[in-house]
Amino acid sequence: MAVDISEAKKYYLDKKAEERARLFKEPDLIYLFFELTRSCNEKCFHCGSSCAPGLGHGPDKEVFKEVLRDARDHFDLKRLQLCITGGEPLLYPGFADLLGYANGLGFKWGMTTNATLITKDVAKMLEDTGMGTVSVSIDGLRDTHDRQRGLKGGFDKAMQGIQNLIDRKAFRHIQVTTVVNHKNISELDELYLILDELDLDSWRVIGMEPMGRALDHPDMLLTPDDQRYLFEFIRRKREQGIPVNYGCSHFLGLEYEREVRDWFFYCGAGTHTAAIRVNGDITACLDIEERPEFVQGNVYQDKFSDVWFNRFQEFRKPLSSLCSDCQKCEWEKWCAGGSRHCFDYDNNRQRVCFKDILF
C-alpha cells in the first residue's frame, strides 16, 4: 500500500507539537552557546549580532569555566553540545585554555567561525582541544563573499582555513554555511561546484534574516520568488543525495517540511537551547533580539543551572500566544508562531512567515 506522504508528515508534526508542549513543562538542555566575543576581523552586512573589529570580549575564561563545572554537575554531557560562537571566537583571549578545559571535563564542543584565522597550527590546536564540529561561513563567490563580509581576501583565507581543517582528518563534521540574499542567490549553482571539490560533510544554506544589521538592508532580503527558488534548489540537491540542509528556522508547510532538512520545524529557544552573552547575560538564543525581558540572569551573580531550572518562563509558552494573527491561523498547531529570532516584539507579529509563499 502506498504511503500518503502528507498524512505521514502530519503525523510527525503532531508528535512534534506534543513534544513542544511537554518541553514547555520539562525543558531538556541540548545546546549551550558561549558568545566569546563581539569582536570580529570581518564586518558582515547581515550580522545578527552587529559584530565588528575591536568590539569587546565575553566574560573572563575563569567565569566561563565555572559555568562549565556547573553544567557538568547538572546536565547529561552525553546529550549536551557546547557551541562556541562570536564574533570570531578565535579572537577571544585564552581560547585554547578554555576549550581545552571544556574538553577535559568531557564536553563535546563545536564552533562557528569565518575560518580566516585557521592556519595549520590553529587547526592542530583545535584538534588538541577536542573540537568535534565546525561551521565555516562562505557567503558567495570570491568577490561577493569579500564584499559582503568586509574583508578583502577573506574568501581565499576561509577556503584555506577549511582545507587546513580537512587535512587534520580529526573532526567529526566540517560544514559550510551560506547566508543567501537577493544579490547572491544567483551564485548558488556555481558556488556548489566549488564546494563540491572539498571533502565537506554538509552544506547549510539559509536565508538572510531580518535582524541585526540586516534590518538596515531591506533591499537584500529574499523576495517570495527568491524563497521558492532557494527551497527548490535545496530539495533538488538533496534528491541527488547531496548533504545540503536548510537551517533550523521557520515552519515550511507540508510540501517542504522534511524535504529540505533532516528534521521537522521546532524552535527550541529556552527549552533545548540556552546561551551566555558577552556581558554574561543568560538568555535562550543568541539570535533573539536583545531585550531586558529576555535576560534570565547573569553568570557574574547567578548560577546557570538555577536559572535554567527556575526561570526561562518567557520562552516556555507558544510564541503564537503573543500574535492574534498566529492564533487564528490553521497552521498554528505545528508552527506555534514560528522562530523567536525574527519575531517583531514591538508589534507582536512574525517578520518571516511562509504562509502564502510556500503553502
Per-residue pLDDT of the chain (359 residues; tens, 9 = 90+): 556 999 999 999 999 999 999 999 999 999 999 999 999 999 998 888 888 898 899 999 999 999 999 999 999 999 999 999 999 999 999 999 999 999 999 999 999 999 999 999 999 999 999 999 999 999 999 999 999 999 999 999 999 999 999 999 999 999 999 999 999 999 999 999 999 999 999 999 999 999 888 889 999 999 999 999 999 999 999 999 999 999 999 999 999 999 999 999 999 999 999 999 999 999 999 999 999 999 999 999 999 999 999 999 999 999 999 999 999 999 999 999 999 999 999 999 999 999 999 99
Helix ranges restricted to H, the chain: 5-25, 61-74, 95-105, 120-128, 142-149, 154-168, 188-195, 224-239, 253-256, 304-310, 324-328, 332-335
User: For position 59, what pLDDT does the model report?
Assistant: 97
| Alpha carbon distance 163, 119 (integer Å) | 9
Long-range contacts of 296-304 (CB under 8 A, 24+ apart): 299/59, 299/63, 299/64, 299/66, 299/67, 300/59, 300/63, 303/70, 304/67, 304/70, 304/71, 304/274, 304/276
Coil, helix or strand at residue 130? coil
pLDDT at 291: 96
pLDDT for 49: 84
Q: Is residue 29 a contact partner of residue 274, using CB atoms and an 8 Å limit?
A: yes
Q: What is the pLDDT of residue 213?
A: 87
349 forms beta bridges with 344
Please report the pLDDT score of residue 95 as a whole number. Answer: 98
Report which DSSP code applies to 221. Answer: S
Q: What are the cell numbers at 172?
A: 567529526
Question: Listing from the earlier edge strand, what are the strands of the sheet with 131-137?
Answer: 244-246, 202-207, 173-180, 131-137, 108-113, 81-85, 31-35, 273-276, 281-283, 297-298
- Give per-residue pLDDT as tens, 105-132: 999 999 999 999 999 999 999 999 999 9
CA proximity to 65, closest of 13, 12, 105:
105
Three cell numbers written together for 192: 556548489
pLDDT at 1: 57
Could you tell me which of 143, 109, 142 has the C-alpha nearest to residue 126? Answer: 109
Residue 43, judged by CB atoms within 10 A of its CB (0-12, 13-18, 19+), counts as middle
Instruction: Round to whole Å and give the CA distance between 211 and 209.
Output: 6
